[in-house]
A and B are shown apart, each in its own frame.
Chain A
Amino acid sequence: MTDLNTLTLAAARDGLRKGDFTSSDLTEACLTSIAAAGKLNAFVHDTSEQAREQAKAADVRIAAGDAPSMCGLPIGVKDVFATKGQPTQAASHILDGFKPEYESTITSKLFDAGTVMLGKLNMDEFAMGSSNENSVYGPAINPWKIDDRNLTPGGSSGGSAAAVAADLCLAATGTDTGGSIRQPAAFTGTVGIKPTYGRCSRWGVIAYASSLDQAGPMTKTVRDAAIMLEAMAGHDAKDSTSMELAVPDFEAMITGDIKGKKIGIPKEYRLDGMSAEIAKLWDDGAAMLKDAGAEIVDVSLPHTKYALPAYYVIAPAEASSNLARYDGVRYGHRAKIGEGDGIDDMYEKTRAEGFGREVQRRIMVGTYVLSAGFYDAYYNRARKVRTLIKRDFEQVFAAGVDAILAPTTPSAAFGIGEVSKADPVEMYLNDVFTVTLNLAGLPGVSVPTGLSSKGLPLGLQLIGRPWEEGDLLNIAHSLEQSAGFVSKPSKWW
């Protein structure tokens, strides 16, 4: 029999319903693989006790025939989701010891559906980063390896991606503010979807940039993404930006038929200096969709170039406001203060000790662009550019395009410590293909479609119309089937 931890959500669900194994069996298989994978540094908080209880309860439900799709399936949860009574610190020293007294809406929905939480997953601090190197737990490591170097699983959902790719869990939750689900998915040969802004509730998800943040599933297959997204999505009165819209049966929308779909290829994504292998991956992906009956058309998104600079105004601005709450008063770390220190000293020392370097930098950049005299020049201008970026997409979709195909990342996974710490902008460029969607609020899914010349996974991204995740996943499924990506990292950990 296959190791149970290597199953997809769909296969595990079907096996549970047939009685081939129990949720407790699945959960133990995953906990065993987690215990043997310390070198990956993917799981950072152990919630195995809760997992075993949830598995037992799920087995009772399955036996009684009352089991939603996610019932009994063991997953990992990114450390950014508030989980009641369990450590939740967004990989930051400033939230040391924090155990929320409440459950995020998304984990509540998953738990109500019977899902089992194995543990909390590594990430970049407050979801700021593209390599998982900005973490108080140290970096998560990519299970893919081609020489003696440790590679990054990407970020910020690096722990989630590493855990799914290494079969430590069947799937994981992630969040995506500028590419934090899709880039790690591409770096690890897994699937990740960022839904339309407003599809999943942000309540109980530790905020980075609220107008861009959106949670989504990270899975082994497109079908699994459809199954898990359905369980995560839906309107929530506690998040005023969540959309009051019925959640369709996403899995049922995977028909395998994409005949007549119009797929746009945006010329502005063909950057100067794009590597030949990424260009080929992209062309191959377009050819696969064409062979499956889609029509390929050239499209233009003229403001693409300005997406990253606009993001690096808007996201830090929102972060500077969101992260003002960490002041050493209500939760987490408080600095020891000296004789005669006042409350401002306490705030300043606490925040200097508690936040890592990149988080401090983004808070301060945000403070600067919002400060008197610069608000119009930076913040308001960036919001106007954002309007233009969204309009670019609206015009393409209005012309009848169903989805847009582009690379997910400019390269395969890089080594830990290889991207310059001195120039923050170098790391930011990782998000050049992903960040536009967050600014426009659109859904996007990364699908593994090939290996680099050195043998590392590469992903393509499909960008969909707002609220059309079902259609998008159907197209992604077709691409996945045509690409036939089945490679797995060989176990070295």
Chain B
Amino acid sequence: MSIDIDTARRVASLARIRVEEDALPELAQEFNAVLGFIEQLSEVDVEGIEPMTSVTPQRLKRRTDVITDGDQQAKILKNAPDAREGFFAVPKVVE
């Protein structure tokens, strides 16, 4: 499996990371180095083996369905790059 420039562009876009056109060939090459390394996994016989979901034999605990938190608007907005009138502000989303 080899990653070409189109695939690199698509992955960058899916990851929401801006990569300029002239940086794509190098990125594709780096992906290929990593994927070439990962490729070894295809040698392993995994027939009948369950994919691991939890490393400890533990069921995730369920908590009681009650409100335990809230009323922290100022704290939540405190680190926002742009907060106005009690909301996070972002560029226009809908035309």
Interface residues of A (CB under 8 A from B): 97-101, 196-198, 211, 237, 240-241, 243-244, 303, 305-306, 308-310, 312-313, 320, 324, 327-334, 337, 341-349, 351-352, 355, 360-361, 363-365, 367-369, 371, 377-378, 380-388, 390, 423-425, 428, 439-441, 466
Contacts and interface: CB of A to CB of B under 8 A. Distances in A.
Nearest to A357: B30
A326 B81 CA distance: 12
Contacts of B44: 303, 306, 381, 384-385, 388
Interface of B: 3, 7, 11-19, 27, 30-31, 33-44, 46, 49-56, 58, 60-61, 63, 72, 75-76, 78-82, 88, 90-93
Given A388-B46, A424-B34, A352 B40 contact: no
Contacts of B42: 377, 381
A241 B50 CA distance: 20
Given A306-B44, A383-B52, A385-B46, A364 B27 contact: yes
B51 to A, nearest CB: 3
Given A241-B58, A381-B42, A424-B33, 9 more contacts: A101-B75, A308-B37, A332-B79, A337-B91, A351-B17, A355-B17, A365-B31, A383-B51, A388-B46
A339 to B, nearest CB: 11
A211 B44 CA distance: 22
A241 B56 contact: yes
Given A240-B60, A306-B44, A381-B46, A364 B55 contact: no
A394 B28 CA distance: 39
Contacts of B79: 97-101, 330-332
Nearest to A302: B44
A397 to B, nearest CB: 14
Given A197-B55, A364-B27, A383-B52, A425 B37 contact: yes
Question: What are the 3 closest A-B residue pairs judged by CB atoms, nearest first?
Answer: A383-B51, A441-B55, A334-B81
A198 B54 CA distance: 11
Given A303-B44, A343-B91, A348 B16 contact: yes
Contacts of B58: 198, 241, 243
B73 to A, nearest CB: 11
B55 A346 contact: no
A346 B43 CA distance: 42
Contacts, number: 170
A349 B19 CA distance: 9
A440 B52 CA distance: 10
B26 to A, nearest CB: 9
B56 A198 contact: yes
B22 to A, nearest CB: 14
29 contacts: A98-B79, A100-B79, A196-B56, A237-B63, A240-B60, A241-B54, A305-B40, A309-B39, A310-B41, A313-B41, A324-B16, A329-B80, A329-B88, A330-B79, A334-B81, A360-B15, A360-B17, A361-B27, A364-B12, A367-B11, A377-B42, A386-B51, A386-B55, A387-B51, A388-B44, A388-B49, A390-B52, A439-B55, A441-B56
Nearest to A425: B37
B78 A423 contact: no
Contacts of A351: 15-18
Contact of A341 (B3, B31, B91): B91
A100 B79 CA distance: 8
Contacts of B76: 101, 330
Contacts of A387: 49-52
Nearest to A239: B61
